[in-house]
Amino acid sequence: MKMIDGHTRTCGLIGNPVEHTLSPLIHNTLAKQLNHNLVYVPFHVEEGQVHQAVDGAFALNILGLNVTVPYKSQVMDSLVQIDDLAQKIGAVNTLVRCEKGYKGYNTDMPGLYRALASEKIKLEGQEVILLGAGGAARAVAFMCASKNVKRVYLLNRSVEKAKAVADEVNAKSGRECIYPMALENYNELPDQKFLAIQATSVGLHPNVEHAVIEDQAFYQRIHTGYDLIYKPRDTRFMQLVRENGGCAFHGLKMLLYQGIIAYELWNDVSVSESMAAQVYKALEERA
Ligand code: NAP
């Protein structure tokens, strides 16, 4: 980041809470590396104030915003345009300034895709177990469908939610590739090895001692486990995957790349892998 002056561009994050965010570290490190005169700040927005926040940001000439919980869907009513993927997913996490207002994007899913690619994990043609049916899992299911995953077994505690997500993703993607299941029926999965994406909130700090499924037999079916959680960086899910011979990854690179893609959209630049590695190092030190 350069010295703040009359030319400094502002980007930021709107959400509630925002106090725990690592996004300023990502964007201010990138601005410094790229010698951009840009500053990124978190804005705590109260419930019911999202529309005013977006309008106010536009009036203040803010270049771009990230959006976090609980406003990723709500913010869509305040935008002049929404990218196709974000529209399908039904969630926006990045606003890019255009002539009459902001255009909404979802960089969480391309972020996850880039994170998987950086670990040499391929989605195309794979059989995937997806744990969870909340906001993150829903978006992962859309991404799997759009990346030609062969089949996704979507396991969730509330099976109705799993069914609703599967119906929606299958209908919108025009492929019957998401198979909903109750979480407790995991022993009915076909007897083979899977890539498993852990998208429940079980195991998230401070409740770190549990995984959403504790049975070792389940983990014998997993060759690669990707946990969206990055705090802690070694979750119980990851430990169980490794104990049963699989490779395990946490979600910090997903966080990194969703930020990088947003930064690229705001500034019309391409962030190199060596720059990404430096930002990741800073994140690892702080997360
Ligand atoms: P969410 O919408 O609240 O969904 C939570 C999910 O966890 C639901 O499927 C829920 O099942 C399940 N769950 C919660 N407690 C459970 C329990 N005790 N037993 C079984 N299942 C349980 O949350 P989200 O926004 O999707 O986020 C999910 C996780 O992804 C969070 O840990 C978040 O930190 C992480 N995440 C990471 C990134 C990243 O950049 N790395 C980005 C987004 C999210 P029910 O439907 O049955 O309640």
For 139-198, how does the pLDDT look when each residue is reduced to its tens digit (9 = 90+)? 999 999 999 999 999 999 999 999 999 999 999 999 999 999 999 999 999 999 999 999
CB 211 within 8 A of CB 202: yes
For a ligand 1 pocket test, name from 23, 72, 200 the mutation site with the most ligand atoms within 8 angstroms of its C-beta: 200
Q: Are strands 222-227 and 194-198 parallel, antiparallel or unpaired?
A: parallel
Atom of ligand 1 at shortest distance to CA of 138? 26
- Confirm or reject: Cβ of 204 under 6 Å from ligand 1: yes
The answer, yes or no, to whether residue 287 has pLDDT greater than 90, is: no
Separation between Cα atoms, residue 1 and residue 8, nearest integer Å? 9
Q: pLDDT tens, 217-265?
A: 999 999 999 999 999 999 999 999 999 999 999 999 999 999 999 999 9
Q: Are 173 and 142 in contact (CB under 8 A)?
A: yes
Confidence of residue 58 (pLDDT cuts 50, 70, 90): very high
Give every CB contact of residue 54 below 8 A, 6+ residues apart in sequence: 14, 65, 75, 78, 79, 95, 101, 102
Q: Is the CB of 135 under 6 A from ligand 1?
A: yes
pLDDT exceeds cutoff 90 at 95 = yes
The C-alpha atoms of residue 252 and residue 280 are separated, in whole angstroms, by 8
- Is 32 in the active site? no
Structure tokens of 64? 């771009």
Phi, psi of 213 (to 5 degrees): -125, 130
Tokens of 70: 């609980």
Tokens of 238: 């990851």
Look at residue 1 in the predicted model and tell me its pLDDT: 61
For ligand 1, atom 13, name the residue with the nearest CA.
Answer: 200
Say if ligand 1 is within 6 A of residue 133 CB.
yes
202 lines ligand 1 (CB under 6 A): yes
Which DSSP helix (H) or strand (E) runs through 247? Answer: strand 247-249
- Tell me, in angstroms, the distance from the centre of ligand 1 to residue 6's CA: 42
Distance CA(146)–CA(169), nearest Å, equals 10
Report the phi/psi class of residue 264: left, alpha or beta, with left for phi > 0 and alpha for psi in -120 to 50. Answer: alpha
155 lines ligand 1 (CB under 6 A): no
Q: Which atom of ligand 1 has the smallest separation from the CA of 135? A: 26
Which contiguous run of DSSP H or E holds residue 29? helix 23-33
Q: Judge if the beta carbon of residue 115 lies within 6 A of ligand 1.
A: no
Q: What mean pLDDT do residues 101-119 have?
A: 96
Q: Which atom of ligand 1 is nearest to the CA of 231?
A: 34
- The residue written with tokens 């895709």 in the block is 113
Q: Is 131 in the pocket of ligand 1 (CB under 6 A)?
A: no
Among 2, 72, 150, 253, which one carries the catalytic annotation?
72
Q: Distance from CA of residue 153 to its chain's centroid?
A: 19
Strands (E) in 91-213, as ranges, are 94-97, 102-105, 127-131, 151-156, 178-182, 194-198
**Rounded-to-integer distance, Cα 157 and Cα 162, Å:** 8
Average pLDDT over residues 48-57: 98
Query: With bands split at pLDDT 50, 70 and 90, how would you rate the model's confidence at 2?
Result: confident
Phi, psi of 170 (to 5 degrees): -60, -45
CA 33 to chain centre: 24
Name the residue at shortest CA distance from atom 46 of ligand 1: 158
In angstroms, rounded to a whole number, what is the distance separating the alpha carbons of residues 238 and 246?
9
Residue 198's contacts (CB-CB under 8 Å, 6 or more residues apart) are 131, 132, 211, 212, 225, 226, 227, 228, 229, 235, 237
The answer to whether the CB of 91 is under 6 A from ligand 1 is no
Find out whether the beta carbon of 73 lies less than 6 Å from any atom of ligand 1: no
Among 157, 161, 237, 249, the mutation site with the greatest number of ligand 1 atoms within 8 A of its Cβ is 157
Cα of 204 to ligand 1 centre, how many Å?
9
Per-residue pLDDT, averaged over 208-214, amounts to 97
Q: What is the pLDDT of residues 123-143, one digit of tens each?
A: 999 999 999 999 899 999 999
CA of 261 to the centre of ligand 1 (A): 23
